[in-house]
Chains A and B, each alone.
Chain A
Amino acid sequence: MLRALFITFALGLAVTNNSAHAQVLKVAGPWEVTGIDPAQTGYVFSRLQVAETLVTADPEGKLIPALAERWSVSEDALTWRFTLRDKARFHDGTPVTAQTAAASLKRALSGVGVLSQAPVAEIVSEGRDVVIRLEKPFSALPAYLVHFSTIILAPSSFDASGKVRQIVGSGPYKVTSLTPPAKLELKDSGTWWGGKPGIAEVSYLAVGQGETRALMAESGETDLVFSMLPVSVDRLKENPGLDVKIATIPRTRILKVNAASVFFDDIEERQALSYAIDRVGITKVILRNPELAATQIFPPALKGWYASDLPPLSRDVARAKELLAEAGWTPGSDGVLEQDGKRFSVTLLTYSSWPELPPIATALQAQLREVGIEIKVSVGNSSEIPARHGDGTLEIGLVSRLYSIVPDPVGTLLQDYGPGGSDWGAMGWDNQEIQGLVAKLAVTTNPAERAPLQRRAVEILQQELPSIPVTWSELAIVSSKRITGVQVDPLEVNYGLAAIRWAK
């Protein structure tokens, strides 16, 4: 009886609601809206095309105009000039002026976003131009202006104290309601310089659990779902009602090792570690795509940074054992290596912000045990890696590193392999040559001049292994056949919702 009652109830609900939501494009993704400051969740508003940056990137990573229709740099490479579009309007109807854009950028400069890492002297507005003066030449500056923390917001977004109160951007969609942390509702803004979006209303739901996202696509409740779990991709591909699109993204899971510790100070030890890893196995079993095995630090999709002729990182357990023996480690009674009475037993720190990291750590634990390295896995909060990097107690960490925080990987390399290393990069490893190369890259714009420098940098990283690449990453997007025009943006700058239309 109860069951019958419940079913009637459920059916009734199902019937009343099915017709109502046909007009809204339903989108689901893993990112929550925690706070609306651009430095925190600007990516949500940038990806969903609520707010725009001056410059953006196409799927190949080439910089293309967004709010700025063109840009140029002075002879001395110290003054950049970004000319804004005439027609650009904010959602509150006010025009996007150079003054408001400069104000947004100044705010970004003083905050924690990437812009604060560029050598910017001042930002001013001149007519329709935003002018950025530098302390020293910096060729990657336009790439920095693609970052979500530099989105341009209308003055009405801020309260008297300068805090962001609401997001009033200039994109094709405006926010109609935001229920942090999970729900965002958008509507055609009617003010976009690029025309009208194909679908007027969008509803975004933050769904943290990958299994749920897959079921949302399969149940037909959601039209577009981002970031599918590797295990569900094959199943979704077989579903006749769904389209699956996959792109390699410039994100590499690496082992960050403390090269100052007794365990990893020799190059042989780091190489041995690399030889001990079964990358193909890990990618087959956990990521379900053996092509993601990281044979070097950057994936092939990152043009100019992938060197196809470098000897690939691969598995060779015998070689690993040999190298460890050369470095002075001998097997103890329980098979764990020892040197001067010290056991090769280290704690591998990782975090669960990326759901695949703990499983990869578990696999690495078993593989390294085979060459006599004992690993204790500790799954904590992502802040523990920088914290333990800071106080020097980190031994080894498994991290997921994004090389397109700005579309030019130089931005990330500058941080990661500069003097003293960084939170997510080298630790206890200083290499003058790579520092020189990266510094040179930062001021060079000509691709022909850059190519040999990039190649040499990758070579050094491959030889010295200050961090050990484990796997590359991909992004899987599932869309219902009800819609067309879905694109995948490997840089995850903009998901191009405005170009999506209902299929006929």
Chain B
Amino acid sequence: MRNFLVARLMQAGIVAMVVGALCFLLMRVLPGDAAMRIAAGRYGPDARIAEAADKVRLELGLDRPVLLQFLEWLGGLLRLDLGHSLVTGAPVVDELQVQLGASVWLAASALLISLLIGPVIGVFSGMKPGGITDRTGLAGAVVFRAIPPFVLGLILMFILSKQLGWLPPAGFGSPREIVLPALTLALGLAAMSSRVTRNSVAAVARTPYFAFARHKGLPEAIVVRRHGIRNAAIPVVSYLGLQAVYLVEGVVVVESLFAYPGIGHALVHAIVERDIPMVQGTALVMGLMFVAIAALVDAISLWLDPRFGRAA
């Protein structure tokens, strides 16, 4: 257990360094004048951007050597200071708290809803490949996968807000407002996870030990619980772990459709506006979150199938 933790901490450290350096480098080599982008981000498209950019350049010292700026960022990082956003002027930590916080809530809600839908349908579909459940599940999965999330969101908004008046179409802050964006994300997610689950259950159902358990005359439910779910769950957990990351990163259009101040939206703005500290901070925190999620996924896989640890 201790080895596991130490390895994970080291991994986190490496990831943080690599991600930070890579972001810095990439943002630096992007074509175009960063000061212009920042000025446009700050003062909007009606302002005299060229003049504002000159002031921005002076204020932020964008002309200083690149290495110096990177070392400054690293120094700040050691003091747990991610710097200030170049566009809003607010501390990056504060912005992340609001936006990443909002995204984590959204992602968690979406994951929860999708877990109620996807794997359940998947298990039933996988038990009887080709049955009614399997076919309906397939059709559903394909529909929700083929509709772009913003169209799905708009349809849900149209039905649940405008026609039925149950939920507010947009906003954030109360549980009522999170339902629509979470549901939009969850349906797309459930579409995928139901099929992954279905295949993995179907694969397990074909294995000799599973067939043996059945032949032994054990009731179906017990067979599934004892032998099916555990083995089938490994690819599913691995897959869901990945999806969790996609979610935190935020399906940016869903956020902007529902006026939800998530990290995806913030990240797009930060990249377009060349807000380097914000991009670095976001990438860093998300990278670390990913390491945490990956550790969790591994721990769960280990618990599901102890042989995993031996092989690794």
Contacts and interface: CB of A to CB of B under 8 A. Distances in A.
Given A13-B167, A206-B259, A221-B168, A34 B48 contact: no
Residue with the highest number of chain B CB atoms closer than 10 Å, among A28, A215, A422: A215
Interface in B244-289: 256-261, 266, 269, 272-273
A351 B45 contact: yes
A247 interface: no
A387 B172 contact: no
A186 to B, nearest CB: 15
A29 B256 CA distance: 13
Contact of A40 (B42, B154, B256, B272): B42
B222 interface: no
A382 B40 contact: yes
Contacts of B46: 402, 405, 424
Interface of B: 32-33, 36-37, 39-53, 55, 85, 87-90, 95, 98, 116-117, 120, 154, 157-158, 160-162, 165-176, 179, 256-261, 266, 269, 272-273
A389 B50 CA distance: 9
Kindly list the 9 A-B residue pairs having the minimum CB-CB distance in the complex, ordered from nearest.
A383-B40, A35-B88, A382-B45, A207-B259, A383-B36, A219-B161, A386-B49, A112-B52, A182-B261
B169 A212 contact: yes
Query: Interface SS of chain A: helix, strand, loop or mixed?
Result: mixed
Contact of A216 (B53, B170, B266): B170
Contacts of B53: 383, 386
A14 B176 contact: yes
Nearest to B36: A383
Given A112-B51, A183-B173, A386-B36, A14 B165 contact: yes
Contact of A215 (B33, B120, B158): B158
Contact of B89 (A163, A211, A384): A163
B11 to A, nearest CB: 33
Interface in A91-113: 111-112
Contact of A207 (B40, B161, B166, B170): B170
Nearest to B39: A383
Most buried by A among B167, B169, B257: B169
A489 to B, nearest CB: 16
A221 B269 CA distance: 28
A11 B164 CA distance: 10
Nearest to B40: A383
A353 B89 contact: no
Given A112-B48, A209-B257, A216-B168, 11 more contacts: A35-B88, A35-B90, A180-B90, A180-B261, A209-B256, A220-B165, A353-B45, A383-B39, A387-B36, A423-B49, A423-B50
Nearest to B94: A180
Q: How big is chain A's contact interface, by range? A: 35 or more
Given A14-B166, A34-B41, A381-B272, A181 B261 contact: yes
Interface in A376-421: 381-384, 386-387, 389-390, 399-400, 402, 405, 415
A208 interface: yes
B50 A221 contact: no
Contact of A219 (B43, B44, B168, B260): B168
B269 to A, nearest CB: 8
B170 A415 contact: no
Contacts of A179: 98, 173, 261
A184 interface: no
A176 B138 CA distance: 50
A37 interface: yes
B32 A390 contact: no
A109 to B, nearest CB: 13
Given A208-B256, A384-B32, A215 B169 contact: yes
Interface of A: 2, 9-11, 13-14, 17, 28, 34-37, 39-40, 111-112, 117, 163, 179-183, 205-209, 211-212, 215-216, 218-221, 351, 353-354, 381-384, 386-387, 389-390, 399-400, 402, 405, 415, 422-424
Contacts of A206: 259
Given A112-B47, A212-B169, A400-B45, A180 B40 contact: no
A207 B170 CA distance: 8
14 contacts: A13-B175, A17-B174, A35-B89, A112-B43, A179-B173, A183-B171, A205-B259, A209-B256, A215-B154, A221-B168, A381-B32, A383-B39, A386-B49, A389-B50
Contacts of A28: 170, 259
B259 A212 contact: yes
A144 to B, nearest CB: 14
Nearest to A179: B98
Contacts of A183: 171-173, 261
B45 A2 contact: no
Residue from A14, A163, A402 whose CB has the most chain B CB atoms within 10 Å: A14
A48 B33 CA distance: 34
Given A112-B51, A112-B52, A10 B179 contact: yes
B90 to A, nearest CB: 7
Given A34-B42, A212-B258, A400-B45, A182 B50 contact: no
Contacts of B266: 181
A15 to B, nearest CB: 10
A218 B162 contact: yes
A7 to B, nearest CB: 8
Contacts of A10: 160, 166-167, 179
B116 A2 contact: yes
Given A112-B51, A390-B50, A180 B98 contact: yes
Contacts of B260: 182
A166 to B, nearest CB: 12
Given A2-B116, A10-B166, A34 B88 contact: yes
Contacts of B176: 13-14, 17
Interface centre among A13, A206, A354 (most CB of B within 10 A): A13
Given A179-B261, A205-B170, A353 B44 contact: yes
Given A383-B37, A386-B49, A415-B48, A35 B42 contact: yes
B179 A13 contact: yes
A179 B88 CA distance: 13
Given A10-B179, A34-B88, A112-B43, A422 B37 contact: no
B49 A35 contact: no
Nearest to B41: A34
Contacts of A182: 172, 259-261
A215 B162 contact: yes
